[in-house]
Structure 1
Amino acid sequence: MFQVGSRTSSREPIELAETGEIVDLMLKFIYPRQSATVTSFETLDNALQAANKYQLDDMYQQLRHQLMSRESLVSVYTDSLKALGVSSTHGFKKETLVASALAHGNYDFTTVDGLLQLAKNAPEAIPWIIIIGIPSVKSKVISDVLFNYNKYPMKPPKKLCNVCRKDRAYGYLDRNSPDTHYSPPEWLARWAHGLFKTLKIRPREDWKACFDVGFLFKAVGRYGGTPIRSMNGNCTCLDSFSRREGARAFLRWSEDVYDCLAARLVGLRELEGLME
């Protein structure tokens, strides 16, 4: 609270809600000998609010200009994240777009490390990291693992039925080339799709059951049903997985998928710790 006037005046003093720093800054803009220098984004935010409140248009425009000036201490080029916060708060569209683009260039919001760096440099962003960042990174990792059918751990088990072996091979290059691609067996594609939709919303503590044979049969039934037909006949992989030996083979394979996902997502524990 800042007081204007004196006790000897015939009128009551005027009390302003702004701090002495902001009032001093306002006076420098009203009676300038040279442009006032703003040294922090907090001061810039408060000064913009004061300029808008008292309709000091010239001050308001000069402060806004500082957001885009390369010589300014409070510009999108000195700290894109803090500038983004100020510009979005005050509805500055151009400044918000520039600050957002620069922030995306400085931080990778799709990785655990990128979000941890963001939390360190901009603690005020932690609520958004928890609400948006963590689910986004989780979904990206899950999809990256589950839908790469030509890479470990999603390469199909070696023991496929004859129909799936015929359907799978459509290599457009030499089959011995590492660049050759193969289509996944239909049951695997359905399992991956069902698994992705479930793991996105299920706590990791409850994931294990999704890698059992029972979940495979549920996913296959939900996304197309059985039998699984193709040009070469009906898939019999599920018949194999319903027997003890085949079920064990499937569990050994699916456990590798689970372990890979768990390893890739271990960093989320640190991000989730930001909530504590």
Structure 2
Amino acid sequence: MTEINSFPQALTIAGTDSGGGAGIMADLKTMQECGVFSTAVVVAVTAQNTLGVQDFQALSPKMINEQFQSIHDDFDIKACKTGMLADAEHVQLVYDNLQKYDFGPLVLDPVMVAKGGAQLISDEGIDLIRTKLSQLATIITPNMPEAERLADMKIESQSAMLVAAKKIQALGAKNVIVKGGHGDTETVRDLVLLESGENFWMNSPRIETIRTHGTGDTLSSAIVSSLAKGSTIKEAILFGKKFVEAAIKNTIQVGHGHGPLNHWAYNQTSEELNDEI
């Protein structure tokens, strides 16, 4: 008989996206595609589509605490991640619960600044991410504007990315990925700084498309899934990059605006490559 809870399980702690492209919806799709059973703590609910966010509502502290308790009481979570956490009160709630329960390595996606530059959480919430939540992070995955906020500096060169990563690591996060997608160069360069001090670049060709909604969620979820299955930190990060690159490259036509990724592209293209061999 198969042992109970032997299947790899992961947890996402974030907000929903009714349009299905980002947030918890992207997390669940990614984890499923990666062969991991996914669970969720819903922090906020959004009314959202590819054209934008029309409304959102954060859940009560009681409901959030009960979700954490429910997950802890029944599942064997091997890795977890955070996404959009709404406001300072909810960042503190998540921090308190992650101190209370052991859900394995934490991938912190510090959702603070949108691709267009709009701030998605209050200054107080950002402060708590910097001073508290980052201290729990096994891996933190800021985009360039988020890295600037976390490191309290401008990033205008690749050397500055490394300086910023070291500053973010000094906040407590063990491993840092500074995503380089906010640019116009032909090659997207993501900087990885590991706990050991090793650093390296992950390069991929820039794909001209507006269908990149949920990229950050997808990357962090793919990394979490790989960790839940027993991969090393470096292996999980490299896998996450490949998964996202396939999801952007093999586009799907959904929605009238900033469309979603193709979350089944990695497995689909891998199967096609195997068929050709």
Q: Give the TM interval when normalised to the shorter protein.
A: under 0.3
Greater helix share, structure number = 1
Higher strand share: 2
- What is the TM-score when the length of structure 2 is the normalising length? 0.22
